[in-house]
A and B are shown apart, each in its own frame.
Chain A
Amino acid sequence: MEHLSGAEIVTRCLREEDVEFVFGYPGGAVLEIYDAIFRQTNFKHVLVRHEQAAVHAADAYSRSSNKVGVALVTSGPGATNAITGIATAYMDSIPLVVISGQVPSGAIGLDAFQEVDMVGCSRPIVKHNFLVKDVRDLAATFKKAFYIAASGRPGPVVIDIPKDVTIAKCAYEYPETINIRSYNPPTKGHPGQIKKAAQLLAEAKRPFIYVGGGAVQGGASAQVTELVRMLNVPCTNTLMGLGALDGTDPNFVGMLGMHGTYEANLAMQYCDVLIAIGARFDDRVISVPNQFLSNPKKIVHIDVDPSSIAKRVKVDVPIVGDVKHVLTDLVAVLKETGAKPNADALANWWKQIDEWRKPNSLLYTPSTEVIKPQHVIETLWKVTNGEAIVTSDVGQHQMWAAQYYKFRRPKQWINSGGLGTMGFGLPAAMGAQLANPDAQVACVTGEGSIQMNIQELSTCKQYHTPVKVLSLNNRYLGMVRQWQEFFYGTRYSESYMDALPDFVKIAEAYGHVGFKVENPADVEPVLREAFGPGLKERLVFIDFRTDPSENVFPMIQNGRGLNQMDLPEHMRGLQQTPFENNRDYGNLC
């Protein structure tokens, strides 16, 4: 058996796990590891400009592939800089292994230079973490970490390694398998429960399918699509589930929730049988549980994490299991028994859905004077044939990207939903581009968010990631401004961005191409140029001066129900109940 140093073991373990990129930043506590990295060729190290960005890039690398993302940071400030990234991944259940350096074992607890209790700091925002005290435990810890991160409900795992452990040597062997007796994530769902779900579907008059990030993470898009098609049931995706069902599919009614479509929210409210697939009844989705349940419905909830089930909403048929396995079995049962919803009732339900669709809640007023942000996203879709990987930051631009880019497949839409981390978009685009070198990658951002990790333009230069940055520059922290307009009597407290930089010059200073677009007529030609063959190898930063007063609609205010949306101008005053001529719903209004 070979004798290796802890640092060499780290690099060997990463090789065993087929790691392609490590996103990181060096410092005292990890110098041994960096030396070992220098001496190997199996994976590439990407030197970010801020540790938060390392974690976001690793995170998006994972979100846009089927692999675990890896980040490496030094102790103390390196570790704390990584915290926001780790929390972002945790909230969205993204598999990561984050390696942090630690002061030497003997110095732990002595307030040593750059000492921070990383295991303690990260505990509430990791799936699990380890402090490796003995070099002999290192290889097994890596094996466990990768397994825990990727299995069951995925999530970030931190491995904290004191410097002396990276220096110490021991015999190295990477374990082939690992057994953790206290950790056995479920795979198959209970057959009895699956039968019950099939039966409920067969009895349904107004069935609805609600698909979340679990279907994206669980690679179950094909199964979701099969179920939807087979039963011809309307389907919505959460912000995290976008792409699980093709956004252009006729059965897709759009995203639901706070900024969901009229039809998706009303279908969610008035359905009688709801199948929730890898979605967690988030407060930005169903708003207030009691309101949501005020129209009675039977709920089937498929989730790999039992604690997601019955957390906010009591369900009738809980199915604990991996979404792909469960859906495969459910489809099989439905085929075997021929169970399906009553055709007349379903036709009636579709009639209702189509009525809800008619006024088009995503309609906006076009302009030839000022650039409408929605128009930029629609044009992006057109120019990229709906095929680009789109990352976003957080704010109005994020919602417009979610609403107007019709994602065709899972893992195409990458955003921070659960934590809502401004500064995510650019490093995420970089990570996604590295995972998908041939893909077109667009980062939809705002002039506020981009400045939270703008230094990564430098990393993008170094590693030739030709992402296209679309900044919807409304000169406002727009999402904040919108809330202040609605709820704080237009008192725009600190939501105006004064002294904005010249983004074109910034892009150029970092060695990229920058455009400023003020005229709506230029939106398409500039996007065509940016994505055209001439700039294929270049990062292009486009500063779109968009309408500062535009708001995101529909919107559900805090504390309101799914049928109490604030609707866009052309739909104001519209009933948010089933249409009267549809007698089946009379008792529901």
Chain B
Amino acid sequence: MRHILSVLIENEAGALSRVTGLFSARGYNIDSLTVQTTEDPTLSRMTIVTHGSDDVIEQITKQLNKLIEVVKVIDLNEADHIERELMLIKVRAAGRDRDEMKRMADIFRGRIIDVTEKTYTIELTGTGEKLDAFIKGLDPTAILETVRTGASGIARGERILKI
């Protein structure tokens, strides 16, 4: 099953490589990983999307907690949560495609953030599925370039990951 893990980790050099090293050394999957410092500059927060049986997810959580620099790990799947991913996509937008592209972006609540005579660059946020759906909806030959961040996640309501 797919799981989203949120990890609070000391904002120190090398901490990220400990996490990625752990996943590769133990044969765990990383579907995506995002990381940035938090409002507290001594801490970073990662969102790791992974998949595996319950036993594997339990081991992943334990092994992450075992890393000295990891402060806290939660499995967002244990309760309601929200996830978002950002995509920047550059598409061909010349001739009659131009209006169609604009319409597609609007339907998906995307924003056109860069325009040239022949291209649009569209910014789109949402769940991974929504971004997938957008890509699927386009003529593949119109897509020039995509870049996606991977999911960031947060629990709903009172459940908070903090120290």
A residues within 8 Å of B by Cβ?
119-120, 123-124, 127-128, 131, 148, 180-183, 305-307, 310-311
Contacts and interface: CB of A to CB of B under 8 A. Distances in A.
A119 B10 contact: no
A290 to B, nearest CB: 13
B63 A307 contact: yes
B21 A182 contact: no
Interface stretch (B54-62, B96-104, B131-139, B149-157): B54-62
B59 A307 contact: yes
B25 interface: yes
A320 B51 CA distance: 26
Contact of B66 (A119, A181, A307): A307
A128 B68 contact: yes
B14 A181 contact: no
Contacts of B66: 305-307
The 5 closest A-B pairs by CB, nearest first: A307-B62, A182-B71, A128-B68, A124-B25, A306-B62
Nearest to A306: B62
19 contacts: A123-B18, A123-B21, A124-B25, A131-B13, A131-B14, A180-B68, A181-B71, A181-B163, A182-B9, A182-B10, A182-B70, A305-B66, A307-B59, A307-B62, A307-B63, A310-B55, A310-B58, A310-B59, A311-B59
Identify whether the interface residues of B are mostly helix, strand, loop, or mixed: helix
A133 to B, nearest CB: 8
A495 to B, nearest CB: 30
Interface of B: 9-10, 13-14, 17-18, 21, 25, 55, 58-59, 62-63, 65-66, 68-71, 163
Report which residue of B59, B63, B68 has the largest number of chain A beta carbons within 10 angstroms of its beta carbon: B68
Contacts of A124: 21, 25
A183 B12 CA distance: 15
Contacts of B58: 310
Contacts of B14: 119, 131
Nearest to B163: A181
A557 B32 CA distance: 40
A182 B68 contact: yes
A124 B22 CA distance: 7
Contacts of B13: 131
A419 to B, nearest CB: 15
A306 B62 CA distance: 7
Contact of B17 (A120, A148, A305): A120
A331 B122 CA distance: 67
A183 B55 contact: no
A403 B122 CA distance: 70
B141 to A, nearest CB: 42
A183 B68 contact: yes
A131 B15 CA distance: 12
A92 B18 CA distance: 21
Nearest to B15: A182
A123 B17 contact: yes
B107 to A, nearest CB: 45
Contacts of B21: 123-124
A131 B18 CA distance: 14
A317 B153 CA distance: 33
Given A120-B17, A305-B66, 15 more contacts: A119-B14, A123-B18, A124-B21, A128-B68, A131-B13, A148-B68, A181-B163, A182-B70, A182-B71, A183-B68, A306-B65, A307-B63, A307-B65, A310-B55, A310-B59
Contacts of B9: 182
Nearest to B21: A123
A124 B23 CA distance: 11
A128 B69 CA distance: 9
A119 B16 CA distance: 13
A127 B25 contact: no
B67 to A, nearest CB: 8
A182 B69 contact: yes
Contacts of A306: 62, 65-66
Contacts of B65: 306-307
Contacts of A311: 59
